[in-house]
Amino acid sequence: MNVLGINTYHGDASAALIVDGQLVAAVEEERFTRLKHDTSFPHRSIRYCLETANLGPEEIDHFALSRNPRANLGRRVVHALKDRAGRQVAAKRASNLRKILRAKATLAEGLGIPESSLGAKPHFVEHHVAHIGSSFYVSPFERAAVLSIDGFGDMVSAMWGVGEGHHLEIGGEVTFPHSLGVFYTAVTQYLGFPKYGDEYKVMGLASYGDPEHMDVFRRIVRSDGLGYELGLDYFRHHVEGAAMTWDGGSPELPPLWGPAMERDLGPARGDGPLEPHHQNVAASLQRRLEEVVLGMLRQLHERTGIDDLCLAGGVALNCVVNGKIFDETPFRRVYVQPAAYDGGTSVGAAYHVWHQVLGRPRGFVMDHAYWGPEFGAARLKQALEDAGVAHAELPEPEILSQTADALADGKVVGWYQGRMEFGPRALGNRSILVDPRRAEMKDVLNARIKHREPFRPFAPSVLEHATARYFTRSEPSPFMLMTYPVRPDKVAQIPAPTHVDGTGRLQTVRRDQNPRYHALIEAFEARTGVPVLLNTSFNENEPICCTPEQAIDTFVRTRMDVLVLGDFYAEKREGPDP
């Protein structure tokens, strides 16, 4: 039984395929089209999924979209009739919904077959049900409290409940116009970061400031039991709409913040200099998000009495909040799958069909993120030769020892292995790695390759069994979705991936999750005594490299020292930094 999940006409379009209940492939469309957060119909992702499972289009039994145009219909109509702006937004939304309902024709067209020969049955899964499914159904828990929080999907911004076996019981939701995702995005825009997906920059900036504006931020968002309410003066999406546009492929959002934001916090930053005031606003925003989300979680625990938690939605990518769950709520185990954002809803929609429509029992745990494309040795070699990059093919022990030597020598290493990661984080298969002991490596990476704002942190990968030696908590974080304090006595040992506030957004690495990456960190530890590497994604600013050609191009274009492409090792013979 083959079920295809699709996220489309929404940020981070993606496809995922499950065969007899087992996830076989999952990927975001941006990795193929090279348009960040691409929202289009994910034709390339779908073709990749089918090729991976060696299936023809006629073998898809079901396909599921992570949107349900009929969900919350009453609410949509009321909103549409409210005023002229509402009607305009509604008209735009209606055209999107028509597109969603035409999905079967669009799917057939992309697969190059007539719609009549596509036997697959379509399903429309409400957005947050797909988010929750993307976490709970692939979690290791038989029973868990579940919570999804994001901007909006099908008019809803948060949903919670209990998952048990292959059943989900929805306990409640927060609907338009109230949204924690909109709250974070609006203040992100006010702070001068207008691009879709810029929220993580503000999360990094927050560590530099003091939360001086909590009184204002407690008016901007008010807690309300398990839910929350926005102070609507601070926003304009409820008047003008928050409809995403994507004329160029990448999504864009209109300004979401309203006049009260400038009244209470001063003029918006625009493209002016970043001042301490902005850091303090960012710190207040982050603190308020933490207060509200951690408060919701305490309520959820009280209502359910369950110690295991599954999180999903864009807000679940806020690893600073996630890292505080163990200290500030009674939850003891937390699962967030690597693509907690909209990209992951393709997985949730497919599993919703498998469990809810087809009634099948659980039988799959997503314990790694490597569900994307992989390219064989012949393709890697050909790509190196075509680019004229001198290289050596080495047995694994040599690859590991040469790479560990280069890292310990302070070189910048492009590390490209196996299947690409699903989700926004590079987790050791499409990564750029450096020595975490060298404080200057953050600046070196920025000057040579990443060109990021200086306030943004880089992340550490640590062997799972060594987590407690370096961090104040030891709960695993395999998908780099938890931030913990670095032990004070270890900050001097790993300064490069330690953030200004003494924390690290860590990835814990276990041998069975990624044997080669685990072995590389072990080899680095054998040389240096430190079981940690600094790990950033293999790209400059574009979507993470997918193909070997893209990786080689990045290697050639930037001042990266070493490229390890599968079993091929290439090193530039260049002098030191000018």
Question: Which of the residues are catalytic?
Answer: 10
Report the residue number, 129 or 281, with the smaller CB distance to Fe ion: 129
Min CB(66)–Fe ion separation in Å: 8
Q: How far apart are CA 565 and CA 89, in angstroms?
A: 47
Interface with Fe ion (CB under 5 A), residue total: 3
Residue nearest to Fe ion as judged by C-beta position: 150
Sequence-separated (6 or more) residues with CB below 8 Å from residue 404: 520, 523, 524, 526, 527
Min CB(129)–Fe ion separation in Å: 11
Min CB(531)–Fe ion separation in Å: 35
Helix (H, G, I), strand (E, B) or coil at 173: strand
Preceding peptide of 177 cis, ω within 30°: yes
Residue 206 near residue 116 (C-beta atoms within 8 A) = no
Residue 111 near residue 59 (C-beta atoms within 8 A) = no
Report the residue number, 151 or 204, with the smaller CB distance to Fe ion: 151
Kindly write down the DSSP assignment for every residue of 438-472, as one continuous string: -TTHHHHHIIIII---TT---EEEEEGGGHHHHBS
Min CB(572)–Fe ion separation in Å: 42
- The residue type at 333: R
Report the residue number, 153 or 163, with the smaller CB distance to Fe ion: 153
Kindly write down the DSSP assignment for every residue of 304-358, as one continuous string: H--SEEEEESGGGG-HHHHHHHHHHSS--EEEE-TTTTGGGHHHHHHHHIIIIIS
Residue 344 near residue 392 (C-beta atoms within 8 A) = no
Q: How far apart are CA 259 and CA 529, in angstroms?
A: 54
Min CB(153)–Fe ion separation in Å: 4
Sequence-separated (6 or more) residues with CB below 8 Å from residue 155: 71, 72, 75, 76, 79, 175, 176
Residue 553 near residue 439 (C-beta atoms within 8 A) = no
Min CB(424)–Fe ion separation in Å: 13
Binding residues for Fe ion restricted to 145-174, rule: CB under 5 A? 150, 153
Report the residue number, 347 or 486, with the smaller CB distance to Fe ion: 347
Binding residues for Fe ion restricted to 82-141, rule: CB under 5 A? none
Report the residue number, 38 or 342, with the smaller CB distance to Fe ion: 342
DSSP 40: S
> Would you count residue 464 as binding Fe ion (CB under 5 A)?
no
Report the residue number, 151 or 504, with the smaller CB distance to Fe ion: 151
Report the residue number, 23 or 158, with the smaller CB distance to Fe ion: 158
Among 351, 285, 363, smallest CA distance to 26 is for 351
Min CB(321)–Fe ion separation in Å: 16
Binding residues for Fe ion restricted to 314-353, rule: CB under 5 A? 342
Binding site for Fe ion (CB under 5 A): 150, 153, 342
